[in-house]
Amino acid sequence: MANSVSASNIFGKFAILSIVLGFYFTFLVEGFTGFRGLRNLLLLLGSLLFLAKVLIDGRLIIQKDYLIYSLLSLPILIFSLPLWHSLSEVNVYISLITSIIVISSDYTYFKKTLRTLSYILLILAAYEFFTRTYIFVVQRETQSGIISLDPKLFGGFAGIFRAKGLFEGPLALAQYAIGLAFLFKSNLRMVLVACALAFFANGRLGMIVCFLVLGIYFLEKYGVLNLLKSKKGLKIFVGAVLGLILAGSFFIDEKALERLQSVANIQDSGNSARLIYWKKGLDMFAEYDFWNQLLGNSGFYRYQVGNSAENGWLMLLLDNGIVGFMYYFTPLLLITYLSVQKKTYHFAYMFLLFVCMMIQTFHLGASANLLYWIIMYSFYLQLKGKQRYEVG
């Protein structure tokens, strides 16, 4: 019995390692070798290792209602497939299965692996930021031809450098930072790491959200009045603020500061383009027939416009219909309701996540999508005050 449990734990840990490597290290391999199939191979390996764990152990260690809700993604996907233009956004539903694997394999070990990964990303992003060079560059085929995802593409022409670490671009690093801040919201060290990652990526939304999470951390830990009364809390808070000001004065140049200040300026070219994409998206959804409005038409908007709608909620409507939209929106509403009911700060994080999805397609990246559901699972556990169930 002890041997079978030990073997099951080993398979679970290797399943998690395989999936983490598949999500976060394959771009590195692609950049040096050009091979783009490693992610699928590692995810397949992780799935097989998880299956071996389940066969040996005979159980799933996961919250039962989350398991049921996640598995609902499969029939929704099956019914949606005949209506879709392409499978480009299939991760919207497939990532739910990946979340079941990492949670059931060893949730504690998965979070430990993410912490280690975050330190690696911090070192690599800092190296890129200070040397103004990327560790590797990948290429992508676009309507204009093959382009290199190099520093010039991501801000070099505007005189801004944006680090990316192990990702294909800085936006993905900033999205990871947001997910990291949410998931480890009660861990000051990890929230500070998330702030640093967003800073090195020069992600406007990432910096704002991560620093807001840092502020909520102090409010949640000490309370507004208690924060001012607590010497330790006040010292940490003042030190963090002074540290940010000092870092900003040394490392944020004028152009980067202008970019951050333009986040709420509708006259900014990027923001005005976003509004145009939103209008096109709403017009296209209004022209869908009943079934496409219900289940979406994955990939069609991007095919017609050549870009995403720059709005995660709108893209859910366009790609996955009202059903897909509500599938993602319902957990957010549930956690907000439970938070208000139990008088916690979780509702503030849900509001920030809602805003993130309004401004970015946070759910479309495979790794960011996985973090979305891990965050929902983590918050749900905290609010329900339950341990993970054993199903089997």
**Confidence category of residue 127, pLDDT binned at 50, 70, 90:** very high
The answer to whether residue 239 scores a pLDDT higher than 70 is no
Looking at per-residue pLDDT, the higher value among 361 and 171 belongs to 171
DSSP 298-367: TTHHHHHHSS--S-HHHHHHHHHHHHHHHHHHHHHHHHHHHHHHHT-SHHHHHHHHHHHHHHS-TTTSHH
Report CA-CA distances (Å) from 224 to 172, 209, 237. 33, 19, 12
Q: Is residue 12 part of a domain?
A: no
Please tell me the predicted confidence (pLDDT) of residue 391: 40
Which pLDDT tens digit goes with each residue over 301-357? 988 888 888 888 999 999 999 999 999 999 999 999 999 998 888 998 999 899 888
Q: Which residues pair with 14 in a beta bridge?
A: none
Is 50 domain-assigned? Answer: no
Comparing C-alpha atoms, which of 225, 377, 372, 391 is closest to residue 313? Answer: 372
363 in a structural domain? yes
In a domain, 358, yes or no: yes
Residue type, 286: A
Residue 351 inside a domain? The answer is yes
Q: Give me the number of domains the chain comprises.
A: 1
Distance from C-alpha of 106 to C-alpha of 120, rounded to nearest angstrom: 21
pLDDT band at 387 (very low <50, low <70, confident <90, very high): very low
> Which has more confidence, 118 or 5?
118
Structural domain span for residue 250: 62-137+165-391
The average confidence (pLDDT) of the chain is 83
Q: Which of 164, 129, 160 is nearest to 247 (CA)?
A: 129
Buried/exposed code over 41-79 (b: 16+ C-beta within 10 A; e: otherwise): ebbebbbebbebbbebbeebbbbeebbebbeebeebbee
Report the Cα 133 to chain-centroid distance in Å. Answer: 24
Burial class (CB in 10 A: 0-12, 13-18, 19+), 140: exposed
Quote the CA–CA distance of 333 and 130 in Å, as a whole number: 41
Give the pLDDT confidence of 142-158 residue by residue, as tens digits: 666 678 777 787 765 56
CB contact at 8 A, 315 and 308: yes
Q: Within a domain: residue 328? A: yes
Tokens 């330190």, residue located: 119
Whole-angstrom Cα distance, residue 45 to residue 101? 12
Is residue 147 in some structural domain?
Answer: no
Contacts with 278 (C-beta within 8 Å, 6 or more apart), sequence order: 309, 310, 311, 314
In this structure, is residue 306 part of a structural domain? yes
Q: Which of 12, 110, 109 is nearest to 59 (CA)?
A: 12
Instruction: Label residue 232 by pLDDT band (50, 70, 90).
Output: low
Nearest to 111 by CA among 58, 179, 50: 179
